Chain A
Amino acid sequence: MFNSYKENTLQYYPEKCINCLMCTKVCPHGVFTEGEKGKGHVELTRPEKCMECGACAGNCPVEAIEVESGVGCAWAMIGAALKGKDMDSDAVCCGEDGCCQ
């Protein structure tokens, strides 16, 4: 209750992983960690921490990770909805007066 962030769209397919560790380098929340020696793939250790930035999926050379990436910004999403746009579309943008610093 009162936690809307327990679930996300992150999907990991360890059988595809080539253990390049790129996901461990780009994730700012330590969602992936290096697997034990001999495992041959990274471990998805903290999936609930994923903020769906898409860094891992975009930098995985073998498409072992999928995520519906996007910016988690209510200001932009509500703005898009008010303009009749899809809240999940790439058109979601906070515009000139956004909070991006």
Chain B
Amino acid sequence: MDTKNKDICDSSDTKADTSQFITMIGLGDSPAPEIHETTGTLTFSDHLDHFLARWGFRRSEHIVEPGIYKLGDPDPDSPVFVSANYTLSFDALRSSLAGIDCYILVIDTKGINVWCAAGKGTFGTDEIVWRIKWSGLDKVVNHSNLILPQLGAPGVSAHEVKRRSGFKVEYGPVRAKDLPEYLRNHTATPEMRKVRFTFWDRLVLTPIEFVHVVKPTLVAAILLYLLSGPFAAFAAVATAFSGTVLFPVLLPFLPAHDLSVKGIILGWLTALPFGIVLAANTQLPLWEEILALISLFLIIPAVIGFLALNFTGCTTYTSRTGVKKEIFRYVPYMALKAGTGTLCLVIIGASRLMGMI
């Protein structure tokens, strides 16, 4: 029993092992594989699901049951597309294929999109080979071709899939909406093969980025409010908003190449209006004003720089080597700035407490 479970978890080790296991559990003799039905139409409920997924609400629940789905009225010669079991990925595919009779093989990517799942290995060779066997796909179609999303390629080895399952992998375009044009002659233009990172692509990432920092921002805002009033609390909220919403939106327009540097520059720009308001305040003692200004121009750029660095995982072009360089290059500098700025705030806070006493 343990061995059986291990086989399931590890996907298929070899073609023979998988076949043996399938025969063992009775799938080998199953007359007709289960085929789910789907449509190319997205309902209000689907759009609501996408909206909630974008905000990270019940993040692990936006999933589709793995298996074979039929779209329209396919026959055994109809094409087979492969998708992740994440609702946004699956819905993007099926809505792009509206009006095309086909099958969609949904593999288990643990509710993660195609590209991220490919990076993690869950959209991978093992899972595809396993899912072909598990679903009985060879009983549904009389050809051996699979059309995969191009962004699934990092996790898949086409020649290995062919060797282990007999199915030939064909990589479709990057974007599902290009599929109808691609299907005319199964050729993608160079433009179809390139990933973009448009304003809209960046904008849809901002809700989840902001949600990530809500809790620490609230804590910081409350502490700063108690320490020095609403001005400082608003600065904390503005910093979080700037780092998670403005940064992705303004990404291509900020100078320099490294995301950390772009973030630090945006941090200076974010701190500037607060600095002007602070400098214009004549009610503060000069030493306190100077310390407050120093902390402002140290902490805000450091925090936004760090948030910008963490946006590397969302971009479509950062390499691991480059990100690692960025981490070692800028994180110590950010930590030093944030630490010094915090020390300035502590001195201001302590002096105010002493004054109260």
**B-binding residues in A (CB < 8 A):** 2-5, 7-9, 22, 24-30, 49-55, 58-59, 61, 68-78, 87-88, 90, 93-94, 96-101
In whole Å, how far is B83's beta carbon from the nearest beta carbon of chain A? Answer: 15
Instruction: Determine if B14 is an interface residue (Cβ-Cβ < 8 Å).
Output: no
Instruction: Determine if B194 is an interface residue (Cβ-Cβ < 8 Å).
Output: yes
In whole Å, how far is B201's beta carbon from the nearest beta carbon of chain A? Answer: 10
Majority secondary structure, B binding face: helix
Please tell me if the beta carbons of A51 and B318 are within 8 angstroms of each other in the complex. yes
Q: What residues of B have a CB within 8 angstroms of the CB of A97 in the complex?
A: 56, 59, 212
Residue picked from A29, A58, A87, most chain B C-beta under 10 Å: A58
Instruction: Determine if B241 is an interface residue (Cβ-Cβ < 8 Å).
Output: no
Residue picked from B118, B193, B314, B320, most chain A C-beta under 10 Å: B320
Please tell me if the beta carbons of A73 and B329 are within 8 angstroms of each other in the complex. no
Q: Whose C-beta in chain B lies nearest to the C-beta of A69?
A: B154
Please tell me if the beta carbons of A70 and B316 are within 8 angstroms of each other in the complex. no
Please tell me if the beta carbons of B195 and A52 are within 8 angstroms of each other in the complex. no
Please tell me if the beta carbons of A78 and B188 are within 8 angstroms of each other in the complex. no
In whole Å, how far is B173's beta carbon from the nearest beta carbon of chain A? Answer: 10
Give the complex CA separation of A10 and B207 in angstroms.
34
Give the complex CA separation of A72 and B50 in angstroms.
25
Q: Mark B94-127, 1 if CB is under 8 A from A, else 0.
A: 0000000000000000001100111111000000
Q: Whose C-beta in chain B lies nearest to the C-beta of A1?
A: B256
Question: What are 25 A-B interface contacts by the 8 Å CB criterion?
Answer: A5-B317, A5-B321, A5-B322, A24-B193, A25-B188, A26-B171, A27-B193, A28-B151, A28-B195, A29-B194, A52-B320, A55-B118, A58-B153, A58-B154, A58-B156, A72-B320, A75-B310, A76-B313, A77-B324, A97-B56, A99-B212, A100-B113, A100-B117, A100-B313, A101-B88
Q: Whose C-beta in chain B lies nearest to the C-beta of A90?
A: B121
Number of A-B contacts (CB under 8 A): 154
Total interface residues in chain B, CB < 8 Å: 59
Give the complex CA separation of A26 and B194 in angstroms.
9
Q: What residues of A have a CB within 8 angstroms of the CB of B154 in the complex?
A: 53-55, 58, 69
Please tell me if the beta carbons of B208 and A68 are within 8 angstroms of each other in the complex. no
Please tell me if the beta carbons of B120 and A2 are within 8 angstroms of each other in the complex. no
- Identify which of B171, B205, B319, B324 contacts A51 (C-beta below 8 A): B319
Residue picked from B120, B150, B212, most chain A C-beta under 10 Å: B120
- Identify which of A8, A30, A68, A87 contacts B193 (C-beta below 8 A): A30
Question: Would you list which residues of chain B between 165 and 220 have a CB under 8 Å from chain A?
Answer: 171, 174, 188, 190, 193-195, 204-205, 208-209, 212
Instruction: Determine if B325 is an interface residue (Cβ-Cβ < 8 Å).
Output: yes
In whole Å, how far is A51's beta carbon from the nearest beta carbon of chain B? Answer: 5
Please tell me if the beta carbons of A59 and B326 are within 8 angstroms of each other in the complex. no
- Identify which of A30, A50, A59 contacts B319 (C-beta below 8 A): A50
Given contacts A75-B313, A98-B313, A99-B314, 4 further A-B contacts (CB under 8 A): A53-B119, A55-B153, A75-B312, A76-B313
Give the complex CA separation of A24 and B318 in angstroms.
19
In whole Å, how far is B267's beta carbon from the nearest beta carbon of chain A? Answer: 15
Give the complex CA separation of A55 and B121 in angstroms.
12
